[in-house]
Structure 1
């Protein structure tokens, strides 16, 4: 018991050092000013004048909707003790008069309603004639509370819609930190703290030395191959350590200033990688408003996590528009861009119409204005209705069946140039080695091997297509040669692939994987049943679905 206490105390001291360093570096920032940086300046009494001038200029011409109101209420609540009365009144008037758009995604609504909740609580006696909503502070507070409670219930029963996002995850956690620290209602504070625990524990299971592993609902293109260029990495550094100092750190300021302290068990979940383990989770598709039979179909996640790598996947299909990342291998490396994955670079007005209410025929053009890579056939983020996966431990089979008339008609795979070794053998297998991992990749169809700036692109122009990948830690084999020989001795049956779209592969562990597109997934003859998945199911976390 004493040893455990000492360990926790030492970890708390390390956390405190990381926390202070993050705040100090943000406070010293002079070029890239924003509300988060201004908050850090006030928290450390560094260059407050410049921070105040920035906030003053910002609220003179407010814009950005929930991306403006959420950080602004955080700044105000953390800094109000140091603000002149003139600035307090100006910020108050901004909240009352600025018509903030609620947005159209889950993270938008969480930020919007958190800001509305805290602003209505902060200025409780304003009537509906004054508020931009046309409702009194009390009614605003009630509406925000009802929606936040609805979101909490939905997330804890059938999962998040914008789940496990390296970019947008902080847009859920940041608001919860503000509610935890500033909500006057005891129940709301308690729920916010529990949601922080849940979201960080969810992150911790898939955390590997700074890498947010597994499939993602939404991810920015550059974050797919740069594991450390995202806001969630900053939170991983703050709470779990075991990674480099983050480059994207400003959005973590409310976490740094919060009175919340991470339970020791969640730290252990994030860092205990002594033994490999399987993680299964159920999330949900964001609200489908048309061209679908179910509002929130389930998303099934599977991860195999070891000390050096994680192979993780979603089941495939359109689960989130525009920025979905269905599967990948992410691994610990001294080199950059430590990931291998494939995708079908799909885009369609049908995909967008499932989730957005605008006129279908203009959707692709409208989305492309803000998401400029959406129609790029060389993009590295995409959902596809023609992609399905089947993973068992360290092996994955990915199948594609691109319909006639659809475009693009090719699949692409990403191989980083930074790999220590890449061998493309005549029998079809591609073998890779990096640091402490070995990778075997079998492309079912012929392909082009294209050299790009940071990677090689495997591009295959066959509508019926697929791949098999098996991964291993290097200490599982005497040598890379032994790994390759074992893989080549494994039984692989794709002889009737064009007719049946079916693969049978015997893994190096002797398990027989059988996968037919739009058909059953079988392990050693037994069908895998997604309906048996729970909300969380790993050695660390268990929670029933619904």
Structure 2
């Protein structure tokens, strides 16, 4: 296949940024770092126009080799810079930064660094090198907090990005503390005061957990810790620890390309894993590690592009906290919107992780941006798998643990997930539909609780076939649905119709009473969902209950009235074997979806057009991304290691081999 290279033409301001960034900036020895003026840019207030980012980023950024950059068009770069300016303006001139207690630097350091970018350099630097509030607990690392993972993410960018602006003595303290910190592996090393922890205090406190570093093992906390230890070991010459952490980082990126991400597509944490790898990409000296970081960022960007749609974050997600079912409701959406845009509304509450995106030269591949903007042939169905949450443990590499189905129509995307077990923080189903004014509308469903809350509940079993979906469970829990208040809702012949802007839903209740509207009990969520309504439907008796869903749009059904007629005349729901947990659903287009409830575990038996669809037991269904009956917009085989994205006329491909080597096509 002939390879094409996109060579962008940059604006003058972008060229200035690249000129600044290409200045050699090998980190000076801390002992000889010269003092630099920090008040050489006039502060700007939130009411003033922010100068272009190239002026604000008058910093010595480490040069990135050309072969490790994803070229962008000048139009995309201009969009990125405009959004970045808006974020800097949002964070400029805060009344206070916060404090440095425990992991509070995840807020306070970010606010200070944003304020630095806005021009208030003297004030920001003074705070960034202020004595830590727990300096006595960090005495063994010269009073520098190298313990909390969220703190480490900011410490790394402070040291490497703003090092020339720090007082030489303070930077020397950071260097010397890091040298002590990485002279041996800080994980498992007893803390000088608290040993391995005494079990008292809050869950994340040093006193409770002990050690030289936060040892919690979520994807995002591991990324913050492992990248920080690696970079500081590399910086201070502790080669044995550097090599050990190089291997750990290599294993993680290998897992992304071979079995997937344990904390997959989290609406809350995806950006928190992405940002530390920007640190590795920007500041690693070892070329292999820069390439590894880029491979991780490219993979995570592609994964985010699937779930991102016009400022929304949809489909099934791990670690779903129930706040993401509106545009910009998700931390991940607010992070990746800086790259992907494609939404009519400005971000009302920019994510703090965007600091790392703004101060990095990384950009996602053009094909990935096009994927996020859904610039591929539609409709298309995408099958995907997700691994065990702690996939590094024994058995974690054996097979997937979640099987996901997504369908991309011309104006909507709908996704659901099945697994053999319940999972309290998984959002099992979401639909996002195009809305010209606010980006997307959400339709969400779940059981239990008092409104639509996350969690794959025990007993819930879902089957999906393109734009058809069946949901069945024993009739012991109510069903809840979230729809926009602006949606036109009506009931005809027992079918619930919901008319969104140009996407139409036909919900056929199975053994459910008529729905009623209920209020959200939590004030903060109620405010977030003030333009949505929650509907509750209670099962009739103790038999199986649930619903069948068909989704239509102009390209598939013509008009809304035509859609309703097709549902009435052509759609069929066969409930003759409901008592044994069997439902056969024939859509208005003739496609048939059959679900047989599984009493042994929560993975149902599915037939599509009469053919058994046993994803959880057939290795041919293990692929991480496998588009079927449509465009090949993204593909990645199980333990094959080659990610390919094809969208918007662009093709991107990267391989991470079994021996952890990165190969760029």
Corresponding residue of 1:430: 496
Within the candidate set 483, 490, 510, 1:444 is matched to: 510
Q: Is the aligned partner of 1:237 residue 2:337?
A: yes
* CA gap 1:153/1:494 in 2 versus in 1, 3 angstroms: same
Ranges in structure 2 where 5+ consecutive residues have no aligned partner: 10-71, 99-107, 136-144, 182-190, 192-211, 521-531, 599-603, 640-665
Instruction: Decide whether the 8 Å contact of 1:66 with 1:112 is kept in 2.
Output: yes
- Determine the C-alpha separation between the residues in 2 that align with 1:159 and 1:290: 14
Number of residues of Structure 1 aligned to a counterpart in Structure 2: 494
Corresponding residue of 1:304: 407
- What is the 5 A alignment of 1:215-234? 215-223=316-324, 225-234=325-334
Q: In the TM superposition, what is the alpha-carbon distance from 1:411 to its structure 2 partner?
A: 3.4
Q: Secondary structure at the match of 1:281?
A: strand
- What is the 5 A alignment of 1:350-499? 378=451, 380-401=453-474, 409-425=476-492, 427-447=493-513, 448-452=515-519, 454-461=532-539, 462=542, 464-474=544-554, 476-489=556-569, 490-497=571-578, 499=579
Kindly provide the CA deviation profile for residues 189-236 of structure 1, in whole angstroms up to 9, marking residues without a partner as x: 10110111111112223332122221101222222x223122322333
**Structure-1-length-normalised TM-score:** 0.82
Instruction: Decide whether the 8 Å contact of 2:583 with 2:595 is kept in 1.
Output: yes
- Determine the C-alpha separation between the residues in 2 that align with 1:63 and 1:187: 25
* CA gap 1:262/1:105 in 2 versus in 1, 3 angstroms: closer
Instruction: Decide whether the 8 Å contact of 2:582 with 2:597 is kept in 1.
Output: yes
- Determine the C-alpha separation between the residues in 2 that align with 1:290 and 1:198: 22
Corresponding residue of 2:596: 516
Moved more, 386-395 or 449-458: 449-458
- Determine the C-alpha separation between the residues in 1 that align with 2:392 and 2:360: 37
Corresponding residue of 1:122: 235
Corresponding residue of 1:342: 445
- Determine the C-alpha separation between the residues in 2 that align with 1:288 and 1:150: 11
- Determine the C-alpha separation between the residues in 1 that align with 2:461 and 2:125: 50
Corresponding residue of 1:35: 109
Q: In the TM superposition, what is the alpha-carbon distance from 1:118 to its structure 2 partner?
A: 1.6
Instruction: Decide whether the 8 Å contact of 2:452 with 2:480 is kept in 1.
Output: no
Q: Is the aligned partner of 1:544 residue 2:647?
A: no
Aligned-residue Cα RMSD (Å) equals: 3.0
Corresponding residue of 1:373: none
Instruction: Decide whether the 8 Å contact of 1:436 with 1:475 is kept in 2.
Output: no
Corresponding residue of 1:202: 303
Corresponding residue of 2:203: none
Within the candidate set 585, 592, 609, 1:505 is matched to: 585
Kindly provide the CA deviation profile for residues 280-301 of structure 1, in whole angstroms up to 9, marking residues without a partner as x: 2121121389999997643211
- Determine the C-alpha separation between the residues in 2 that align with 1:52 and 1:424: 63
Q: In the TM superposition, what is the alpha-carbon distance from 1:93 to its structure 2 partner?
A: 6.1
Corresponding residue of 1:186: 287
Moved more, 487-496 or 288-297: 288-297
Corresponding residue of 1:249: 351
Q: Is the aligned partner of 1:283 residue 2:396?
A: no
Moved more, 466-475 or 1-10: 1-10
Q: In the TM superposition, what is the alpha-carbon distance from 1:381 to its structure 2 partner?
A: 0.8
Instruction: Decide whether the 8 Å contact of 2:444 with 2:481 is kept in 1.
Output: yes
Corresponding residue of 1:405: none
Q: In the TM superposition, what is the alpha-carbon distance from 1:40 to its structure 2 partner?
A: 2.4
- Determine the C-alpha separation between the residues in 2 that align with 1:186 and 1:457: 54
Instruction: Decide whether the 8 Å contact of 1:230 with 1:248 is kept in 2.
Output: no
Q: Is the aligned partner of 1:526 residue 2:627?
A: no
Q: Is the aligned partner of 1:329 residue 2:329?
A: no
Instruction: Decide whether the 8 Å contact of 1:66 with 1:101 is kept in 2.
Output: yes
- Determine the C-alpha separation between the residues in 2 that align with 1:344 and 1:291: 32
Moved more, 18-27 or 76-85: 18-27
- Determine the C-alpha separation between the residues in 2 that align with 1:60 and 1:536: 46
* CA gap 1:63/1:416 in 2 versus in 1, 3 angstroms: farther
- Determine the C-alpha separation between the residues in 1 that align with 2:379 and 2:342: 18
Kindly provide the CA deviation profile for residues 327-353 of structure 1, in whole angstroms up to 9, marking residues without a partner as x: 1112223469832222233xxxxxxxx
Kindly provide the CA deviation profile for residues 43-72 of structure 1, in whole angstroms up to 9, marking residues without a partner as x: 453244145325525464559721122222
Corresponding residue of 1:158: 259
Q: Secondary structure at the match of 1:468?
A: strand
- Determine the C-alpha separation between the residues in 2 that align with 1:37 and 1:264: 30
Kindly provide the CA deviation profile for residues 427-482 of structure 1, in whole angstroms up to 9, marking residues without a partner as x: 43111011111111122122352332542232324462221111112454443232
- Determine the C-alpha separation between the residues in 2 that align with 1:19 and 1:235: 11
Within the candidate set 241, 247, 256, 1:140 is matched to: 241
- Determine the C-alpha separation between the residues in 1 that align with 2:425 and 2:171: 39
Instruction: Decide whether the 8 Å contact of 1:410 with 1:463 is kept in 2.
Output: no
The structure richer in helix per residue is 1
* CA gap 1:410/1:20 in 2 versus in 1, 3 angstroms: same
Corresponding residue of 1:14: 79
Q: Secondary structure at the match of 1:282?
A: strand
Instruction: Decide whether the 8 Å contact of 1:106 with 1:161 is kept in 2.
Output: yes
* CA gap 1:401/1:145 in 2 versus in 1, 3 angstroms: farther
- Determine the C-alpha separation between the residues in 1 that align with 2:634 and 2:400: 22
- Determine the C-alpha separation between the residues in 2 that align with 1:101 and 1:190: 27
- Determine the C-alpha separation between the residues in 1 that align with 2:97 and 2:152: 19
* CA gap 1:105/1:229 in 2 versus in 1, 3 angstroms: same
- Determine the C-alpha separation between the residues in 1 that align with 2:589 and 2:474: 29
Q: Secondary structure at the match of 1:222?
A: coil
Q: Secondary structure at the match of 1:56?
A: coil
- Determine the C-alpha separation between the residues in 2 that align with 1:458 and 1:433: 18
Corresponding residue of 1:314: 417
* CA gap 1:450/1:463 in 2 versus in 1, 3 angstroms: farther
